[in-house]
Amino acid sequence: MVYKMTGAAIDRVSLLWRMRRRARRGAFCMGFFCISMALLYALCAENSVPVTDAIFGVRARTRAQPRTHSVVKVLRGGTKPLYADPQKLPGVVPGIPNRPIPVLSSTNHTQEVKEAASKKKAKARESGFFAWLLPRPFRRALETLFGGRRRGEMSGTVGDTEFFKAHGSMGEVWDEEMSSSMLGSRLRKVVQNYQAMNKYGVENTGPGGVASRPKLSGPELLCHLKSQVQVLTLTPDLQPFASLSWASQLPDKAVTSELGPYKSCAVVSSAGSLRNSGLGKEIDSHDAVLRFNAAPTSGYEKDVGSKTTIRLINSQVMASDDHRFLSSSLYSEGALVGWDPAPFSANLSQWYNRTDYPIFAQYQRYRRLHPLQPFYILHPRFEWQLWQQIQDNMAEPIQKNPPSSGLLGTVLMMSLCEVVHVYEFLPSRRKTELCHYYQRFYDAACTLGAYHPLLYEKNLVKRINQGTDRDIFTYGRVTLPGFSTLNCTLAPGKAPGP
């Protein structure tokens, strides 16, 4: 018996078949779209904006404040300098006078202890079916979607070699012999590109940059820093500022003459590893506290404290609309110290006409708003003197860009304080790829460096640390002596000290 379908039944079957085919096609397209978006996100997260710029040779950007996902609007003058006529800037009502900073505690001394164990700890790599079946970008996409490195836990390796040293059951601390050869291919390429750019015309005249260089001990290095690095700020008697109508807005004396001396000081990095640290009370117990750029305290007091004595800010933060430098209350507490990179061999007049960002225009605007608040600008000679000391004490060439705000602020406080505790500049057991404790931005370059020679800065700080490795591992705390406490007039061969 042959069953014949009516025309209506045939139409219904045909419609059902077409709907199923379209559903399968739609599901395939949706799956392909989701995988593509995950892959794109993984690649974008891996190659953050400053890193991508470095790889493709785009103009170097200041790395002290990483870009968020929004577009950063910067007050740049284009072909017409923004500071061409500073007298036409709008006048405003004066701000709140500067309030004195209370003294809360005495010095917290930490004795120097040398840890003998230096055995490296091997990390076991997870292997499986997907490890060799899927291409690397797809594995990164799956890690992004379902957890892993992008959540912020740093693996302890960059490439195939560890950059932490194992100390038995205590854990891992920064290895002061860290080099670019230990970096993964991405960051190694970034460092090489910045070395090749040499945007600031850096000429290394010291003994560093070669493997055969003599290695100074920590005390010797401290004395070199004291004698070779001058913490200078701009004053109205310097040219070309002495001939400018707004020179009176600059402080009459350098920052080291007007602030301090303090007994104990805290330098609080903006590192993501400060989250859940519970260090706020300890940080606030210091006589003076230095913070960086746009790092807030409100809402994070338990981990970073609430006191701000000095805030060091780079010119990019000053010029960015997103940071509301002129109006935000974040920049109205404590003394401000701004800085902007200058060409390596440029004098002040050449720098004034060739700043990276319009620091002088923003300085004048801010002074009109807050004429009673202390506000200093670092002399660019200080930045490059410190860079030279880093290079002189490293076995390979470093990035030819100025040091990070973190190291600038640390040396600044060493010139003002008897003892300085630096928090999470060297990462603790909470080490993470989260760049800042107040942002959701992940990139290992924030710890290892891209634009700034951050990797080598950490090597230098580890060498001059007078605290213990346990302090670093547990609290992320480095203990450094103030320059005023150093006795560097001893005979050769004797270790200088407080």
For 242-291, the pLDDT digits (tens) are 999 999 999 999 999 999 899 999 999 999 999 999 999 999 999 999 99
CA 130 to chain centre: 35
Selected residue with higher pLDDT from 186 and 479: 479
Number of Cβ atoms within 10 Å of the Cβ of 492:
5
pLDDT > 90 fraction of the chain, expressed in percent and rounded: 51
Contact 394, 403 (CB under 8 A): no
Contact 175, 118 (CB under 8 A): no
Return the bridge partners of 436, or none: 271
Rounded to whole angstroms, how far apart are CA atoms 359 and 336?
13
Mean pLDDT of 333-344: 95
Q: What is the residue type of 492?
A: P
Cβ partners under 8 Å of residue 380, min gap 6: 339, 340, 341, 342, 346, 348, 351
Selected residue with higher pLDDT from 90 and 228: 228
- From the DSSP assignment, how many helices (H) and strands (E) are in the chain? 17, 9
Q: Which superfamily, per CATH, for 86-113+183-485?
A: Glycosyl transferase family 29 (3.90.1480.20)
pTM for the model stands at 0.72
Q: How confident is the model at residue 109 (pLDDT cuts 50, 70, 90)?
A: very low
Selected residue with higher pLDDT from 444 and 76: 444
Q: Where are the domains of the chain?
A: 86-113+183-485
Please state whether beta strands 262-268 and 288-292 pair in parallel, antiparallel, or not at all (unpaired). Answer: parallel
Mean pLDDT of 218-238: 95
SS (H, E, C) 220-276: HHHHHHHHHCCCCECCCCCCCHHHCCCHHHCCCCCHHHHCCCEEEEEEECCEHHHCC
Mean pLDDT of 212-234: 91
Rounded to whole angstroms, how far apart are CA atoms 176 and 345?
30
CA 280 to chain centre: 20
User: Which pLDDT value is given to residue 186?
Assistant: 85
| DSSP codes joined into one string, 308-337 | -SEEEEEHHHHHBGGGTTTT-GGGSSSEEE
Rounded to whole angstroms, how far apart are CA atoms 284 and 419?
15
Lowest-confidence segment of 32-36, 123-127, 211-215, 437-441 by average pLDDT: 123-127
Cβ partners under 8 Å of residue 310, min gap 6: 259, 288, 289, 290, 291, 334, 335, 336, 337, 409, 412, 413
For 139-164, the pLDDT digits (tens) are 555 554 454 444 444 444 444 334 55
CA 398 to chain centre: 16
User: Which pLDDT value is given to residue 330?
Assistant: 92
Check whether 47 has a pLDDT greater than 60: no
Rounded to whole angstroms, how far apart are CA atoms 181 and 158?
10
SS (H, E, C) 88-148: HCCCCCCCCCCCCCCCCCCCCCCCCCCCCCCCCCCCCCCCCHHHHHCCHHHHHHHHHHHCC
Element of type H or E holding 186: helix 185-197
Return the bridge partners of 339, or none: 314
Selected residue with higher pLDDT from 300 and 45: 300
Selected residue with higher pLDDT from 428 and 145: 428
User: Which pLDDT value is given to residue 164?
Assistant: 56
302: tokens are 């338990």
Contact 365, 326 (CB under 8 A): yes
| DSSP codes joined into one string, 361-410 | HHHHHHHHH-TTS-EEEB-HHHHHHHHHHHHHTSSS---SSPPPHHHHHH
Contact 433, 149 (CB under 8 A): yes
User: Which pLDDT value is given to residue 136?
Assistant: 55
Per the document, the length of the chain is: 498
Contact 216, 224 (CB under 8 A): yes
Rounded to whole angstroms, how far apart are CA atoms 479 and 112?
9
DSSP letter, residue 203: -
Check whether 24 has a pLDDT greater than 50: yes
Check whether 196 has a pLDDT greater than 50: yes
Check whether 60 has a pLDDT greater than 70: no
Number of Cβ atoms within 10 Å of the Cβ of 336:
21
Check whether 389 has a pLDDT greater than 90: yes
Return the bridge partners of 156, or none: none
Distance linking the first and last C-alpha atoms of the chain:
109
User: Which pLDDT value is given to residue 88?
Assistant: 31
User: Which pLDDT value is given to residue 107?
Assistant: 27
Check whether 468 has a pLDDT greater than 80: yes
Helix/strand/coil percent split, the chain, to 5:
40, 10, 50
Rounded to whole angstroms, how far apart are CA atoms 354 and 371?
26
Rounded to whole angstroms, how far apart are CA atoms 377 and 247?
12
